[in-house]
Amino acid sequence: MEILINALIFVVSVLALAKGSSVFVDSAVKIARWFNIPTLVIGLTVVAFGTSAPEFGVTLLAAVQGMGDISVGNIIGSNIFNLGFILGGTALFRHLNTDRKLVFRDGTFLLGGTVLLTLLIWDLSITRIGGAVLFGLLIIYIVFLLFQKDKKAAGEVPDKKEKIGWKDMGLFVLGLAMIVGGAHFLVESSTSIARIIGLSDFVIAVTVVAFGTSAPELATSIAASVKGHHGISAGNLIGSDIFNIFGVLGLTALMNDLTVEAGARSNLLVLIGMVLLVIIFMRHKWKITRWEGAILIMIGLVRWYFTFFPGG
């Protein structure tokens, strides 16, 4: 009976995270436009944080409660889930176009960040200094993007100023509250389930919690693919993974030292391999094809199997 109650709480928490992040992003973008913040800045800050809000909420809350396995496992699992199931699944519906900047600038930065995180956490802990390094690199990356000479971005017409009211402010607060509340109950219910069925905190974080916090990206990707829209692309998911490592985990480690179990090493090596493979796929004909998407999904499934059954 206890496991059913926790499972129900988990599902409700995922729904709260998904809806809360959507409401938060919509209201935050509208408020940002009211203050004449450029679209590029909104995308790199408000929207980037909004799409990673579930990961941020769960990771930070788990760190505050001394659950380093949940914090680190959630980020590693979410990044693998994004590249394997979401990116691969989206490519199955329709091939995804890529370009040189996505491959050589963003892809390389993500690969370097994943390797750096692996080195920082190889001793099964990440200190505040490591967190400061990761978060500092994110700031440098964002500044580089803002000042990079991009003709398309430079010629972009500013968005028309929108009117905002108390409703928008209220939705902003509501969305944030749903994210915080959903994150709290997601952590509590998932750790309870893990202990009942004998799984470690890291295993449950790198699989079930990672799936839960990636629910908004998954739902949006599937909907966009079914409708034939190109709003969800490889670039969105690469950017999300970059923000997860450098922003979410970097800031969390900066606030509190984190420790994890040995399983983090193998999962990080898998993540490095997946990032490298995605870069190769993106460079090949400058698109990710359906069969390449199928390969990414299979890697995700195999990795889940060996995470749950390490001796299998």
Q: Are 56 and 181 in contact (CB under 8 A)?
A: no
Q: What is the mean pLDDT of residues 126-155?
A: 79
Q: What are phi and psi of 258, to 5 degrees?
A: -120, 140
Q: Tens digits of per-residue pLDDT, 180-231? A: 788 778 878 887 887 888 888 888 889 878 887 786 667 656 655 565 554 4
The residues, ordered by sequence, that sit 6+ positions from 169 with a Cβ below 8 Å of its Cβ are 27, 31
pLDDT tops 70 at residue 245: yes
Q: What is the mean pLDDT of residues 8-24?
A: 84
How far apart CA 71 and CA 176 sit, in angstroms, is: 19
What is the reported pLDDT for 291?
A: 94
Domain count, the chain: 1
Q: Tens digits of per-residue pLDDT, 81-113? A: 999 998 998 888 888 888 888 899 889 999 999
What is the reported pLDDT for 225?
A: 58
Domain with 46, as residue range(s), is 2-308
What is the average pLDDT value for the chain, to the nearest integer?
82
pLDDT tops 90 at residue 297: yes
CATH classification of the domain holding 110: 1.20.1420.30
Q: Are 166 and 34 in contact (CB under 8 A)?
A: no
Q: How confident is the model at residue 294 (pLDDT cuts 50, 70, 90)?
A: very high
How far apart CA 10 and CA 23 sit, in angstroms, is: 20
Q: How confident is the model at residue 51 (pLDDT cuts 50, 70, 90)?
A: low
How far apart CA 255 and CA 60 sit, in angstroms, is: 9
Six-digit token string for 63? 């760190």
pLDDT tops 90 at residue 299: yes
User: 142, 96, 99: which is closest to 296 by C-alpha?
Assistant: 96
User: 28, 60, 23: which is closest to 46 by C-alpha?
Assistant: 28
Six-digit token string for 2? 């206890």
Structure-token match 């709003």, residue found: 231
